[in-house]
Amino acid sequence: MADNRTYARIAAFIYALAIAATIAVVFLALPFAGPGYAWISLAALLIAESTVFGVVMYFISNRRTFLNQVPGYVAYGMTAAAYFAVTIAAVAICSVLSLSLLTYGIIHLLIIIGAAIMLGIVAFFVKYMERQDETIAAQAQFVKQLLLALMTARQHIEGWNDERRHSLQTALLRLEDKARYSDPVSHPDLQAAENLLLVQARELQERLRSLSRSSGETVDPGTIEEIGELIRRLEQQLEQRNQQLVQLK
């Protein structure tokens, strides 16, 4: 946050210097063209400089997402720079031409409209890419949440003083490996199946937590078999999810 404020102050200082220099240059270099031309040129240049400054401030305030959206930010920068360059070129070229004040104003108005359209198009695609990234990130949470539930479930049986716990640990480790190497980027059509898997994994986690035993106690054999069956069912459902995901992609 402190870095952002420092960068913002530097950008604001440069922007203020640019405005002062622009005012001086316009009224020193363009008085021969008439006051109307000078005021239109000043307004056009200040709008262009303000656009560049606004884009720079947008970069500074969104530094955290910059690396994820490099093409979009580059497009913003190139559009703003091109607009600024075209404005300067229009001022320089039109200052030596015999144009009416109305024509000169319309030229700068068209340049502003063109820049606004381009920036709008860039903004649309940047927002679209951001939504795509958010969707992918949300879909990728399934594997992380499933792994967390399975690892927590396995930790609950590590303290059992029961030889039969080894078969459950082996089954859970195998299920964890399948979850770990599953495609993390899901598909909307699989959301219901994945939610069901998560619900069952958390039920398994809570079941094993409630069965945590002290060193001298054992677990009922029927309960061991029931938990083993739940793990096998989870494994089958995860395999089906992965197969369906391959087909959907």
Radius of gyration over every alpha carbon of the chain, rounded to an integer in angstroms: 32
Of 135, 168, 194, which one is at a domain's C-terminal end? 135
If asked whether residues 37 and 125 sit together in one domain, one would say yes
Q: What are the structure tokens assigned to 207, written together?
A: 């079941």
CA atoms within a 13 Å half-sphere pointing along the CA-CB vector of 214? 1
Contacts of 229 (CB under 8 A, 6+ apart): none
Which of left, alpha, beta for 160 (phi over 0: left; psi -120 to 50: alpha)?
beta
CB 118 within 8 A of CB 79: yes
What integer pLDDT is reported at residue 94 of this predicted model?
Answer: 83
* Cα separations in angstroms, 193 against 162, 185, 237: 34, 14, 8
Answer with the one of 135, 166, 186 that is the final residue of a domain: 135
The answer to whether residues 90 and 171 belong to one domain is: no
Judge if 7 and 130 occupy the same domain: yes
Q: In terms of domains, do 13 and 130 share one? A: yes
Same domain as 10, residue 95: yes
Cα–Cα dist 176/169, whole Å: 10
Phi-psi region for residue 34, left (φ > 0), alpha (ψ -120 to 50) or beta?
A: left
Count of domains for the chain = 2
**155 and 121 belong to one structural domain:** no
Per-residue pLDDT of the chain (249 residues; tens, 9 = 90+): 557 788 888 889 999 999 999 888 887 776 555 678 888 888 999 999 999 999 888 888 877 766 667 777 888 889 999 999 999 999 888 877 878 889 989 999 999 999 999 999 988 888 888 777 777 776 678 888 888 888 888 888 876 666 667 788 888 889 888 888 888 777 778 888 888 888 898 888 888 887 765 444 566 777 778 888 888 899 999 899 888 888 876
Q: Is the same domain home to 129 and 145?
A: no
Instruction: Mark whether 162 and 108 lie in a shared domain.
Output: no
Tokens, residue 152: 């927590």
Same domain, 199 and 88: no
Residue with token string 């951001």: 130
Count of other CB atoms within 10 angstroms of residue 243: 10
- Same-domain check for residues 7 and 113: yes
Whole-number pLDDT of residue 71:
78
Signed CA dihedral, 86, 113, 21, 38: sign only: positive
CA–CA separation, 197 and 188 (whole Å) = 15
Domain stops at, among 88, 111, 135: 135
Kindly state whether residues 13 and 113 are assigned to the same domain: yes
For residue 217, what pLDDT is reported? Answer: 55
Q: Which domain holds residue 215?
A: 141-248
Run of H or E including 196? helix 191-210
Torsion of CA 192, 193, 198, 202, to 10 degrees: 100
Same domain, 130 and 243: no
| pLDDT given for residue 73 in this prediction | 81
Residue with tokens 């210097």: 17
